[in-house]
Structure 1
Amino acid sequence: MVSRRNMLKTGLTAVFGACAVQTASASEVQQKSQNNFDVVILGAGTGGLVTAIEAADLGLKPVVLEKMECSAGNSLYASGGIAAWGTSQQKEEGRNETKESFREDMMKVSEYRADPALVGAYVNHIPEDFEWLKKQGVKFSKIGKKPWPLNYRMHNVDGQGLTGGARLVRYLLEACEKRNIPIIYNTKAIELLTNDAGRVIGVRAQGDLHKTDYFAKDGVVIATGGFSANRELLCRYMGGPLSRLVLRGSPYVTGAHRTGRSAACSYRPVPLRPDR
């Protein structure tokens, strides 16, 4: 603001200066109005796109921010298989699966170390979640028998020349387009915005040319994947040997949303002798 003392000292110059300040403030208010959403979602992968669609169907106004020029996460490399029980497709193909056997096998494959609450949430909701995907237009191949535990529960997205995961992302992008959900590419979230009470109210993002603030009335959803392409974080959280594994997914899933001091990896691979 221009103080009264400065106004008196500089005369008309100060008057024009005040007008300039007012204009900038009005522009800032307009920008905030244009960038006001109910939900800001970070990441245009499967998780982020599903969240955006569900938010829109609930009557909310979502926006998706994606750091790459396209949806370039691990979904593109995935087969698109969804393990489920009690689906309409299983019933149509004459395959019976019970909730109890499905849950037991999920616990067994983890040697009973999986979180029972998380497993329970998956088991209880996967039938309806599968039907939700079908309503979005997702098409699945005929269920085939899998090596373990030798039953018919893996529902694979029909890739039609692509990986199932890549085709799934295309289905979800089409669903977002039908709902006019904005997806802003080449825009990387760099900071969460908070109010004086510490509540998250939005995101500051870096675009090609400048930073932009996106405000979220009902919260920010971080759906940016893990850190499978970041060897430093793999070493820190998973151990040295795992950080040396060959990358099997997207090179862009780097855990950029994580913060913290860099940690040097103490693991050094032992060179193999020629006869090994």
Structure 2
Amino acid sequence: MPVIRTHAMSFDASVPVLVVGAGATGMTAALAAADAGADVMVLERDASPTGTTSMAQGFICAAATRAQKDKGVSDSAEAMFADIMTKTRGQTDERLARSIARESGPTIDWLMADHDFPFDVELAWRTDFGHSVPRLHGLPSRSGTELLGRLIRAGEGRVSLTTNAHVVDVYADDMDRVLGVGLLRPDGTRETIGCAALVLATCGFGANREMVRRFIPEMGDSPYFGHEGDDGEGIQWGMQLGAATADMTAFQGYGALSIESGVLVNYNLIMEGGIQINLKGERFSNELFDISGQSKQVLAQPSGIAWVVYDDRLRQSNLRWPEYQALTKLGMVKSAPDAAGLAQLIGVPATTLQATLAHAIACANGDAEDPFGRDFGRNPPLSSEGPYFAAKVTGALFHTQGGLVVDDTARVMRADGSPMPNLFAGGGTARSISGPGVWGYLPAAGLCMAVTLGRLAGQAAARQA
């Protein structure tokens, strides 16, 4: 993945705006550049664009959108900015946080008004994990696959998407102006493409174990739930060009990944009243304190294993989620008519599980206080009679949150604070708004950064070109 310095380069082809990566960031950037009148090409290393976007639930947090108003939700960019700063303990880039809070809403409205994306606000998430109002926007299927598919279709006829095109070289002059890229085809053929502006949309470095162990050592051996192509190439190219990086220790974790199937266990099961227990049959944390940091709590349990335990009310309310449907079809959900039967199925002490459930019910009824500080009173109590259900989970690394430093137009910045001449980045390639740790992640911030910075990068790259 070298950066090749040159002043005279003859490319096989050239395009004004070149985007590397066909995930949500890349396709949003390409669509925005095309809307601005630029000719744009997207290079995708895989045979079919999928990536981490297709593995996500497809939610995007955004403020002051038309969709929020339609649901009666009052929000503002200032409120979202305040939530970001509170969640990150004031340790994120204030300028970037303001920009994302300000531009996230217009990005959603643009996709809805100009490209017929049927976003609506998911009220089930309420104000959990840092958002002061509901601001998670989803498409009808609640899947990243639909989001990416719609982005690709919106660009048809105006965006040139080239697959099986793995970028392996970046050509730049001594002033750090990117001249173009070299790519490798599956059959070993090499090609070069010149550009006036380059957008890096190659996601983060979660699949690069060497980088994870270097920057996020506590997750160096944890399961990874993301695309195998998220190997940090774009970040490494930027670093070789002299770009600054920040918050490389930050990441999004998840404490409810089904071990055997690799399918997400919907956190709605817990938000609506379910609990997590370890192999001793005991709860071990406030499951609603930090959705990202819960990954470390689960990994710290014996064998890094926990069970999500819930009742039939919660089962029925979560049947609409694609992930829950998949878990059921794959046989990942255990069920029993009572707590003793469930304990035997999942291999935990029956008396302990019965006591754990009884205490959670007492907390929800106001007859006991949770030692971990969870507010059980916001939901109906778990059933005292069953049936009960359980899904076996572990903690996982989902997405790295550090990356190249960008300004409020998604232009990549040097370590001295000056902008790179014609290099832009977004999504996981760019630094996020999560601060330096796992605790700063706001739900749906990943795809928020992807589409918001993607739109800004596409617009700025079109102006550059």
On whether the aligned pair clears a TM of 0.5, the verdict is: yes
- Cα distance in 2, alignment partners of residues 256 and 97 from structure 1: 37
**1:244 and 2:226 equivalent?**
no
Change in Cα spacing, 1:212 to 1:90, as seen in structure 2 (3 Å) is: same
Tell me the residue number matched to 1:24. none
Distance 1:150 1:123, change over 3 A: closer
- Cα distance in 1 for partners of 2:147, 2:136 equals 15
Task: Tell me, yes or no, if the aligned pair for 1:72 and 1:252 is still in contact at 8 Å.
Answer: no
Contact 2:68–2:120 under 8 Å retained in 1: no
Is the Cα contact below 8 Å between 2:20 and 2:199 reproduced in 1? Answer: yes
Residue by residue, what CA displacement relative to the aligned partner does 1:154-213 show, whole Å, maximum 9, x if unpaired?
A: 112222xxx52111100000011142x211111111111234765321001111231001
Q: What's the counterpart of residue 110 of structure 1?
A: 88
How many residue pairs were aligned?
229
Aligned residue type for 1:256: E
Correspondent of 1:50 among 28, 44, 65:
28
Partner of 1:22: none
The aligned residue for residue 43 of structure 2 is: 65
Change (3 A) 1:61 1:150: closer
User: What are the residue-to-residue correspondences of 1:81-96 with 2, within 5 Å?
Assistant: 81-96=59-74
Corresponding residue to 1:137 among 110, 116, 119:
116
State the alpha-carbon separation in 1 of the partners of residues 233 and 203 from structure 2. 9
Who is 1:170 aligned against? 149
Change (3 A) 1:142 1:40: closer
CA distance in 2, matches of 1:187, 1:141: 35
Tell me the CA shift for residue 121 of structure 1.
Answer: 0.3
Paired residue secondary structure (1:76) = helix
Q: Which runs of 5+ in 1 are unaligned?
A: 1-27, 262-271
Matched with 2:53 is 75
Q: Who is 1:193 aligned against?
A: 171
Note the 1:21-60 alignment, pairs <5 A. 32=12, 35-60=13-38
Task: Kindly indicate whether residue 237 of structure 2 is the aligned counterpart of residue 255 of structure 1.
Answer: no
Cα distance, 1:151 vs. partner?
Answer: 2.8
Among 89, 92, 103, which residue is 1:125 paired with? 103
- 1:154 paired to 2:136: yes
Which one-letter code corresponds to 1:248 in the other structure?
F
**Distance (Å, rounded) in 2 between the aligned partners of 1:142 and 1:125:** 17
In 2, Cα distance between the equivalents of 1:200 and 1:95? 44
C-alpha distance in 1, partners of 2:86/2:172? 43
Give secondary structure in 1 for the equivalent of 2:213.
Answer: helix
Cα deviation, residue 233, structure 1: 0.9
Query: Equivalents in 2 of 1:150, 1:144: separation in Å?
Result: 12
Amino acid at match of 2:40: P
Residue in 1 that maps onto 2:360? none
Q: Does the CA contact (< 8 Å) of 2:61 and 2:137 recur in 1?
A: yes
Larger radius of gyration: 1
Inter-partner Cα distance in structure 1 for 2:216 and 2:172: 31
Conserved 8 A contact 2:59-2:138: yes
TM-score, structure 1 normalization: 0.75
Which secondary structure does the structure 2 equivalent of 1:232 belong to?
helix
Give the corresponding residue for 1:98. 76
Instruction: Show structure 1 runs of 4+ deviating over 3 A.
Output: 195-198
Deviation at 1:221, TM superposition (A): 1.3
Distance 2:212 2:115 in 1: 35
| CA distances 1:105-132 after superposition (whole Å, capped 9, x unpaired) | 1111112212111110011112211111
1:222 matches 2:200: yes
> Percent identity, aligned pairs only?
25
Q: Judging changes above 3 Å, is the alpha-carbon distance between structure 1 residues 144 and 56 closer, same or farther for their aligned structure 2 residues?
A: same
CA distance in structure 2 between the partners assigned to 1:191 and 1:142 by the alignment: 41
CA RMSD of aligned residues (A): 2.6
Aligned partner of residue 56 in structure 1, secondary structure: helix
244-253 or 39-48, which moves further after superposition? 244-253
